[in-house]
Amino acid sequence: METPARSRESCPERILDKTGEAFSVGAVGGAAFFFLDGVHNSPKGHRLTGGIHAISMNAPRVGGRLAVWGGLFSAFNCAMVYASQKEDPWNSIIAGATAGGFHEIRKGLRPASRAALYGGIFFALMEGTLFMFEKAVDKAIDNEKKSRRVVEDYVTIKAGGEGGISFELPIRAPQFE
């Protein structure tokens, strides 16, 4: 299912881009979360410094973990595209499951299997939602094209150039029975 939204850059660039994007998302999200956590857990009078200290201790770790996961996902996704010679939702689903499993493999087989299952389910839900959204947008575009066929029987008159008044007049005279 090759669509313009799914056409991408080459794999080595994609892996590096997604790794960097994942680090940024993890670092910014981790900074916001741990700042609030540090402010909440610090004593009165030291809340701001406690929030900043919590950011410096935790946000890079969260960014790094997400960067590793993003790099694994992109690498497995590229491998799936290369193996299947097509870009389809199954590539992302399998890559999400594999990346989740590989990311947690150091904790043992059971947590890795659970992470792989969750990754596959998550990406199946994401791809299903994306498919339904694309289908709804295509239907809306088709309906718009059908309604324009009816409107094409009208001529648009503009007065005053850009930003001026415009209105539509029927080209054909009404038919009486």
Question: What one-character-per-residue DSSP string does 27-55 give?
Answer: HHHHHHHHHHHHHHHSPTT-HHHHHHHHH
Question: With DSSP H G I counted as helix, E B as strand and the rest as coil, what are the percentages for the chain, rounded to 5?
Answer: 75, 5, 20
- Tell me, what's the pLDDT at 171? 60
Measured distance CA(92)–CA(173) in Å, rounded: 56
Give the residue-averaged pLDDT of 47-67.
94
- Tell me, what's the pLDDT at 99? 95
Kindly report which listed range (34-38, 84-88, 121-125) carries the lowest average pLDDT score.
84-88
Give the residue-averaged pLDDT of 128-152.
77
**Identity of the residue numbered 85:** Q
Write the pLDDT tens digit of every residue in 89-105. Answer: 999 999 999 999 999 99
